[in-house]
Structure 1
Amino acid sequence: MKKLAILFLVAIAFYSCQEKEESIYTGNELIYNLYQGSDFDYTGKVNAREMANGDIEITVELIGKKETDPYYFPAHLHFGSYDYQDSPTAYLLNPVDIRDLKSITILGNLSDGRKLSFDEFKNLDGHVKVHLADSGPEYQIILSVGNIGKNDNSPQAFKIENMTMCSPYY
């Protein structure tokens, strides 16, 4: 009987912890594909979740080769579709750590001064690019790219030959 009571208490504690953790989000969530952008074999997902305080949490998760030594891939949110020439940077996302291929960013004010609501983010004309490096020739190597917001993110719409390079100047 004591074992059953302990098991019951552990179950309640576990459930309570999960409920508190999830309460920071509203349940609104968008998931976008990231497509391979170069000879480097990286694809992935961008997950945008609305937080209870109105902020937007953006998680970039790549699928590809992980490493044990620290290295960070720069990630940017851009205005316009991935094939739009000279698309300006809207927000510098936290870099993707090569050890777990993940980045989490709380979206702040965009480069144009706007703070987006979740509905505005849903209709944003934008895309995400993950670069090999933050400067030099490797900056022009796009590991992964994908449209977000109102832009078509389907595999059928993605054409690597239409991808544009980024300017290192914001």
Structure 2
Amino acid sequence: MRYENRNIHPMKKLLYSLIILFFMMSCEDDKGDPIYTGNQLEYNLFQASDFNYSGKLLVKEAFGGELILEIELKGDKDSEAYFFPAHLHFGSYDTVDAPMAFILEPVDIRTLKSSTVLGTLSNGETLTFEAFKNFDGHIKVHLAESGPDYLVILAVGNIGANADENAAFDKDEISICLPSF
């Protein structure tokens, strides 16, 4: 009886190694490539009405250069679906008739969060991370999309060049929001 050489052919070894590597990689936690560069800005959003909502705006830079604006509010949540409209405006929160720069994704009352990929602003400008630091703007989160409750601002905060952590916030200075571009 003759014993055959049971050594695996080098090409088969390579193929088996690749298959095993593929399965190992697919079984790992699916973290994927991180989409953020690590550049991040944070701004306070202040309670602006009798409704107890405040929070923060996080501005994150993605590897493609896009800016992701994440609103995280603190306040009462609800299990029923309801969305608070949110807008990026030009000027500080006390600028009269401050024009809207970009409509943000609404804040979901169930999570009190919103995430928006910032696109081209109403004036045609596209902001980079560095340009956002000097942007003359503010964020407003409304109670409703229309009607009298649209005039109720839940949370507001200056951002970019207007952000001054040492300045006192005065909700009586908030300007009315223009409803469209």
Q: When the two structures are superposed, what TM-score results if normalisation uses the length of structure 2?
A: 0.82
Aligned match of 1:78: 89
Q: Provide the residue aligned with 2:19 in structure 1.
A: none
1:13 to 28, 33, 39: 28
CA distance in 1, matches of 2:37, 2:180: 35
CA contact (8 A) 1:42 1:63 kept: yes
Q: Does 1:165 align with 2:176?
A: yes
Match of 1:6 in 2: none
1:134 aligns with 145
Q: Partner of 2:109 in structure 1?
A: 98
Counterparts of residues 110-125 of structure 1 (less than 5 Å): 110-125=121-136
- CA deviation string 1:29-79 (max 9, x = no partner): 000000001000000010000000000000001100000000000000000
1:155, distance to aligned residue in structure 2 (A)? 6.1
Q: Which runs of 5+ in 1 are unaligned?
A: 1-8
Measure how far apart 1:163 and its partner are. 1.0
Letter in 2 for 1:13: E
The aligned residue for residue 32 of structure 1 is 43
* Percent of pairs with identical residues: 52
Aligned pair count? 156
Could you say which structure has the larger radius of gyration? 2
SS of 1:49's equivalent in the other structure is: strand
Whole-angstrom CA distance in 2 between matches of 1:157 and 1:116 = 27
Query: Conserved in 1, the CA contact under 8 Å of 2:89 and 2:138?
Result: yes
The answer on whether the counterparts of 1:33 and 1:153 sit within 8 Å (CA) in structure 2 is no
In 2, distance between residues paired with 1:124 and 1:157?
20
1:108 aligns with 2:119: yes
Could you tell me how far 1:157 is from its partner in structure 2? 2.8
- Paired position in structure 2 for 1:41: 52
SS of the residue 2:59 aligns to: strand
Whole-Å Cα distance in 1 between the matches of residues 110 and 164 of structure 2? 27
The alpha carbon displacement at 1:106 in A equals 0.2
Are the aligned partners of 1:32 and 1:153 in contact in 2 as well (CA < 8 Å)? no
Aligned 8 A contact 2:43 2:163 in 1: no
Cα distance in 2 for residues equivalent to 1:149 and 1:94: 19
Moved over 3 A (4+): none
